């Protein structure tokens, strides 16, 4: 079991620029005005990450054309825009797996995308699912080759860690045609990754995401209701990066999770490299 023992680790979110809002129009029975509004330029406040609050420096409407959005869509009057939109980034670890296609199908049904942090050793035999997830608008991030804590961290050096991510990056690029630079450290970046380690990750050109909400689906086997309870208990910030895994209970809870977040006024977004923002336990803006 891939256990994340990071109960106290809550990343602050530092956003220089991002575009929120669903890339696709929600299905008719999922009505949420907030989810359909574009992100307005805002200025936020900075707070201690230990309190679970979020720093939002600036947000701006996405300037690039999206294959999921109509081109040249007329913008609503300024007074109709959300002054402080709430955005949720759904992220799934430890795939690709037998659940990947089902997760993507649920996302498609709701007109949203997610960010998948995949394990290199899981790719063989699941190449088609990985490729399909990418082609349908989801971002494929890296989660190491082995997810083995001893191999990745026990030496205290970044050498084996980066070797695994470099190898996996090449594998994903061969399948999807894109070399991903966003990584997620197995078991979270803290306390495993110190400043010198982070320096090496920065030099290698990678960005690194932790999370703001841990669904604990890795813990609640066959208990989708418990996963849902964790989401409800933890979600409170203007921007949430939600940690989930490719597991049976997650698949079962996912439609409810999406509906709950929609009802709470969250729009959904997928990671975009040109709109990167910092989400890590060390609050390192370089990552």
Residue 245 appears among annotated catalytic residues? yes
Single out the residue of 267, 231, 242 nearest to residue 84, CA to CA: 267
Bridge partners, residue 92, by sequence: 116, 244
Whole-angstrom distance, CA of residue 118 vs CA of residue 129: 11
Helix (H, G, I), strand (E, B) or coil at 92: strand
Contacts 24+ apart (CB under 8 A), 44-47: 44/84, 44/238, 47/12
Residue 39 · residue 124 · CB < 8 Å: no
Which is the catalytic residue, given 93, 94, 210, 217?
93
Catalytic residue among 4, 110, 113, 245: 245
Copy the structure tokens of residue 16.
């220089």
Which residue in this structure is represented by tokens 């795939």? 95
Which positions are catalytic? 93, 245
């Amino acid at each position: 079991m891939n256990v994340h023992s990071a109960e106290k680790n809550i990343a602050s979110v530092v956003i220089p620029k991002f575009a929120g809002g669903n890339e696709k129009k929600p299905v008719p029975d999922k009505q949420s005005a907030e989810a359909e509004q574009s992100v307005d330029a805002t200025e936020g406040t900075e707070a201690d990450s230990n309190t679970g609050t979020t720093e939002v420096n600036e947000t701006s409407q996405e300037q690039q054309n999206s294959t999921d959005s109509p081109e040249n869509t007329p913008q609503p009057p300024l007074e109709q825009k959300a002054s402080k939109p709430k955005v949720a980034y759904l992220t799934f670890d430890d795939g690709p797996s037998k659940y990947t296609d089902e997760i993507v199908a649920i996302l498609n049904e709701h007109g949203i995308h997610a960010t998948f942090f995949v394990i290199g050793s899981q790719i063989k035999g699941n190449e088609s699912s990985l490729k399909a997830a990418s082609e349908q608008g989801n971002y494929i991030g890296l989660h190491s080759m082995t997810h083995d804590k001893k191999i990745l961290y026990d030496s205290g050096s970044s050498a084996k860690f980066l070797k695994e991510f470099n190898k996996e990056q090449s594998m994903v690029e061969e399948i999807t045609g894109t070399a991903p630079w966003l990584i997620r450290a197995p078991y979270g970046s803290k306390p495993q990754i110190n400043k010198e380690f982070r320096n090496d990750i920065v030099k290698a050109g990678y960005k690194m995401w932790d999370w703001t909400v841990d669904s604990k689906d890795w813990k609640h086997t066959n208990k989708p209701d418990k996963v849902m309870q964790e989401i409800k208990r933890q979600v409170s910030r203007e921007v949430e990066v939600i940690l989930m895994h490719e597991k049976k209970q997650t698949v079962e809870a996912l439609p409810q999770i999406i509906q709950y977040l929609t009802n709470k006024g969250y729009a959904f977004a997928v990671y975009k490299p040109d709109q990167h923002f910092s989400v890590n336990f060390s609050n390192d803006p370089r990552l």
